[in-house]
Amino acid sequence: MADTKRVVMVVSEGTFDKGMMAMIIANTAASMGMDVHIFFTFFGLNLLKKGAKPKLPGMFRLFTGMFTKRMAKGGIADFPEQLSMALDLGVNLYACSTTMSLLSIEQGDMIDGVKVLGAAGFLNVAADADMQYFIG
Amino acid sequence: MVEVLDAKGLMCPMPIVQLAKKMKAMKVGDELDLISDDVGSKADVPAWCERTGNQLVETKEANGVFTYRIKKLK
Over residues A88-100, the mean pLDDT reads 97
The contacts of residue A64 (CB under 8 Å, 6+ apart) are A16, A54, A55, A56
Are B20 and A31 an interchain contact pair (Cβ–Cβ within 8 Å)?
yes
Find chain B residues with C-beta within 8 A of A73's C-beta: 9
pLDDT, average across residues A96-101: 96
Q: In this structure, is residue A1 part of a structural domain?
A: no
- Judge if the upstream peptide bond of residue B13 is cis by omega within 30 degrees of 0: yes
How far apart are the CA of A101 and the nearest CA of chain B, in angstroms? 35
A79 falls within a domain: yes
pLDDT at A129 over 80: yes
In a domain, A126, yes or no: yes
A51: containing domain: 6-135
CATH code for the domain in which residue A67 is found = 3.40.1260.10
Q: How far is CA A22 from CA A51, A102, A107, B11, B24, in A?
A: 18, 23, 21, 16, 24
Q: In which domain, by residue range, is B66 found?
A: 2-71
Distance between CA atoms of residues B4 and A72, nearest Å: 22
Q: Classify residue A25: in a domain, yes or no.
A: yes
Can you give the C-alpha Rg of chain A in angstroms? 15
Distance CA B4, CA A131 (A): 33
Q: How far apart are CA B49 and CA B61, in angstroms?
A: 18
When divided into structural domains, chain A yields a total of 1
Bridge partners of A49?
A110
Average pLDDT for residues B3-25, to the nearest whole number? 96
Q: Say if A82 falls within a structural domain.
A: yes
Cβ of A75 and B11 within 8 Å?
yes
Residues B28 and B74: beta-carbon distance below 8 Å: yes
Predicted local confidence at residue B1, as pLDDT: 80
Average pLDDT of chain A to the nearest whole number:
96
CB contact under 8 A, A74 and B52: no
B12: annotated active-site residue: yes
Average pLDDT over residues A37-59: 97
Mean pLDDT of chain B: 96
pLDDT at A3: 83
Whether residue A130 lies inside any domain: the answer is yes
Contacts of B7 in chain A (CB under 8 A): 75
Task: Please count the CA atoms within 13 angstroms of the CA of B13 that sit on its side-chain side.
Answer: 22
Q: At B7, which CATH number?
A: 3.30.110.40
pLDDT (tens digit per residue) in B34-65: 999 999 999 999 999 999 999 999 999 999 99
Residue A16 has pLDDT above 90, yes or no: yes
- CA dist A57 to A15, A19, A78, Å? 6, 11, 17
Interface of A with B in 8-67 (CB under 8 A): 24, 27-28, 31-34
- Out of A1-5, A54-58, A96-100, B29-33, pick the least confident: A1-5
- Among B10, B12, B35, B56, the active-site one is B12
Mean pLDDT of the region B1-26: 95
State the average pLDDT over residues A89-105: 97
Helix crossing, A16-31 with B14-24: angle to 10°? 30
Q: How many domains does chain B have?
A: 1
- The pLDDT of residue A2 is 60
Which of B11, B48, B74 has its CB closest to that of A76?
A: B11
Q: pLDDT tens digits, residue range A51-92?
A: 999 999 999 999 999 999 999 999 999 999 999 999 999 999
What ipTM goes with this model?
0.88
